[in-house]
Structure 1
Amino acid sequence: MSGNKRRMLLSLLATATVVTGLAAAPAEAAVPATIPLEITNNSGRADPVYVYNLGTLLSTGQQGWADENGAFHAWPAGGNPPAPAPDASIPGPANGQSKTIRIPQFSGRVYFSYGQKLVFKLTTGGLVQPAVQNPSDPNRDILFNWSEYTLNGSGLWLNSTQVDMFSAPYAVGIRPASGATKTTGHLKPGGYNGFYSSLRGQAGGWGNLVQTRKDGTVLRALAPGHGIEAGGLPASVLNDYVDRVWAKYANSTLTVTPFADQPGTKYFGRVSGSVMNFTNTSGAVVTSFQKPDSDSVFGCYKLLDAPNDLVRGPISRTLCAGYNRATLLANPNQPDTSAANFYQDAVSNQYAKKIHERMADGRAYAFAFDDVGNHESLVNDGNPQQGYLTLDPFN
């Protein structure tokens, strides 16, 4: 995904998998080919808004975009160097207004930008996504954000995400066939400005994650892995915590029970030299991890790779959450799913901590496996009648 290492909770735009590793729930009723998505602009901004619905059409595996009526358009062939993509923008609602578009059965993203259209290009390998940790990215000075979703025969999964960056505030919702509308993603009053103030006040380079335009307009805060890539956050920022974890489990055992519904499935981790070996209940080594660097922790990849299997992936997800939330030292039984125990060590993912502190419901996707323990900002329903995307105030 355009060199930004796509450390997201989704296998978006390249596969037809269900979002965030979620198992699809049985369909309660036939899900239509498209459903309405109401976009409401409560931003307080006068800038024009542009909306994009990009993704993989699940019925065919083709990548492309959908227009406001939900009709699918496949991307044309790309080039080398990358060629401009067709203009897939949809005029969004003005401040104080709403607009309804239709979303098809996609695994994809709904982008929205303020003031300017986004720049998308196509390579021979497909769509180039914005990668604003790169100072030469054409979208670097555009204020934008995106939501992620999968709509398939089993329902709708719709989330807000900060895995790559914290930027223009928004919330998502679903109206089911019965029951109350489900929503998530709203910040507390003052949460937007409070997040940036807190991040800038955090010692150790965390304030360098904030990106602004030349006129001083705050655009976003990069996720810490991208901050390391861009040179703003020290690559050693989590080393002290990782070193302490490594020392602890050289002399004691870390127990991982990765499946809440399978309490008998346990793996036992012990450090031996440069690796942490995990054994099963029979004592056989099932997987091993090299000592992770900070970027591996933030991105839940590289030395903490999480394949889509039933052993290494689930263990890695658990470790990733434990390192980011700094629960591995205090609790040898993982995952620790109590939010009260998260980020208590000064050496932890301060970006994620500050986002969660400012969410109205405490939920966020501040790193790739923030869904461990169900702390993610996700709504889902097997019989969705309508989705919602609300552009929130910048305060």
Structure 2
Amino acid sequence: MSARHRRTRVRLVPLLVTAALVGTGVTVAVSSDPVEAAVPATIPLTFTNNSGRGEQVYVYNLGTELSTGRQGWADANGTFHPWPAGGSVPVPAPDASIAGPAAGKSMTIRLPKFSGRVYFSYGRKLDFRLATGGLVQPAVQNPSDPNRDILFNWSEYTLNDAGLWLNSTQVDMVSAPYSVGVKRPDGSVANTGRLKPGGYRGFFDALRAQPGGWGGLVQTRSDGTVLRALAPGHGIEAGALPAGVMNDYVNRVWSKYATSTLTVTPFAHQPSVKYYGRVSGNVMNFTNGAGQVVTSFQKPDSDSVFGCYKLLDAPNDQVRGPISRTLCAGYNRSTLLTNPNQPDASSAGFYKDAVTNHYSRAIHERMVDGKAYGFAFDDVGAHESLVHDGSPQQAYVTLDPFD
């Protein structure tokens, strides 16, 4: 199990200032108006098992307690339990599992004010460990990870005084299918993350049929059970996908913008804020309207593109981070050559180049609403599988069929 920084960045900056959209590393403004601070200490989460599978399901609610910043877990009643100290060699964590519902059944637990994850596993409990720095998350791109042969997945959420942000995520892997939802004060329910009929098997079939090594992302158990498909960045890390799989596209982008300008308008609510990118040598420089260089990027490798980090690092600032997020989306969706004004407003032109993030393409194509978290900044342009409400009445996680 690796303690390596996870690409699904679950983090929160100070409460009532900004709220993290889990899985994105992006923050949105949140009002401190006390009228909006009416979210109760916990809200109900109804967990429904429509998987059609017979194995025992185990549920976990792990995260950071926002009132104290402590890491820990919540039991079915939403009561917080801090993790004990870890070790320099990671030690087993306390058993935080909650027995989940049988096929065709539902159960309701309570979500506290966390920034965290709701894990679920089929047939076996997950093996969590504690290091000196805190909880070590499963990292199944590592063949020696103790969770490698367990069928599991997770949803991410932030619940705070400004509301609930709950997503389905494919940033790290596509595995056991599920969808999420939130009930609004008027009784309506917003849902996302549900695959089309045949979408689960179709996704894996599409990866296996895609030339260039994409089928190597699929992991199976010795009994033949399909466990997951690794996200392409993790696939590169594991040696399952060629490290240069995006190089041709990156090279063509570099060539194009050596003689033309890439215009980035990173904030939809601030259309006058624009940055202008031009390539010189091995560097793409971005200037503001006054012609001043505000940030520069070296030519990214495939892993930087898929992970939206390293050479495409995106700090939580007002310049480099927003530009980098926009570039990351453009590279993954392969729109930088077809549209010099980014981000692209329409999904109609996404993933059309032969060199693209075929993993993200395949999962988006198979979602009922077309939305997914196929990479960390899939929220650029609001293409992510996220539900939000400022006064959530109830949350939902539904385990869907494996068809």
Please, what TM-score do these two structures have when normalized by structure 1?
0.98
Offset of 1:5 from its aligned partner?
3.1
Contact 2:2-2:142 at 8 Å conserved across structures:
no
- Deviation of 1:3 after TM superposition, in Å, equals 3.9
Counterpart AA for 1:32: P
Contact 1:29 / 1:382 at 8 angstroms: preserved in 2? no
Q: 2:296 is matched with which residue?
A: 288
Tell me which moved more, 209-218 or 14-23. 14-23
2:270 partner letter:
Q
Residue 231 of structure 1: aligned partner: 239
Partner of 2:20: 18
2:208 aligned with 1:200? yes
- Indicate whether 1:175 and 2:183 are aligned: yes
Report 1:174-323 matches (<5 A): 174-323=182-331
Q: Distance in 2 between matches of 1:31 and 1:65?
A: 20
Task: Name the SS for the 1:208 alignment partner.
Answer: helix
**Equivalent pair of 1:15/1:56 in contact (CA under 8 Å):** no
The DSSP-based 3-state class of the residue aligned with 2:361 is helix
2:40 counterpart of 1:32: yes
Counterpart of 1:63 in structure 2 is 71
User: How many pairs does the alignment contain?
Assistant: 394
Are 2:169 and 2:374, in contact at CA under 8 Å, matched by a contact in 1? Answer: yes
What secondary structure is seen at the aligned counterpart in 1 of 2:28? coil
What is aligned with 2:336?
328
Give the counterpart of 2:350 among 342, 362, 383: 342
Task: Summarize deviations over 1:284-322 as a string: whole Å, max 9, x none.
Answer: 000000000000000000000000000000000000000
Give the C-alpha shift of residue 10 in structure 1. 3.2
| Map of 1:360 onto structure 2 | 368
Deviations 1:344-391 (A, max 9, x none): 101000000000000000000010000000000000000001000000
SS in 2 for 1:229: helix
Distance (Å, rounded) in 2 between the aligned partners of 1:130 and 1:8: 12
> Secondary structure at the residue paired with 2:138?
coil
What is the CA–CA distance in structure 2 between the aligned matches of 1:140 and 1:305, rounded to whole Å?
Answer: 28
Cα separation, 1, equivalents of 2:2 and 2:277 = 35
Distance 1:71 1:340 in 2: 45
Aligned to 1:369: 377
Amino acid at match of 1:275: V
Q: Deviations over 1:44-92 (max 9, x none)?
A: 0000000000000000000000000000000000012111100000000
Conserved 8 A contact 2:36-2:161: no
Secondary structure at the counterpart of residue 305 of structure 2? helix
Quote the Cα distance in structure 1 between the aligned partners of 2:352 and 2:187: 37
Question: In structure 2, how many angstroms separate the alpha carbons of the residues matched to 1:271 and 1:189?
Answer: 44
Gaps of 5+ in 1: none
Matches of 1:189 and 1:352, distance apart in 2: 18
1:5 alignment counterpart: 5
RMSD: 1.4
For residues 183 and 83 of structure 1, what CA distance do their matches in structure 2 show? 38
Q: Percent identity?
A: 75
Give the C-alpha shift of residue 11 in structure 1: 2.5
Normalising by structure 2, we get a TM-score of: 0.96
Q: 2:4 & 2:122 partners in 1: Cα distance?
A: 22
Offset of 1:8 from its aligned partner?
A: 1.9
Distance 1:124 1:9 in 2: 19
Tell me the secondary structure at the aligned position of residue 23 of structure 1: strand
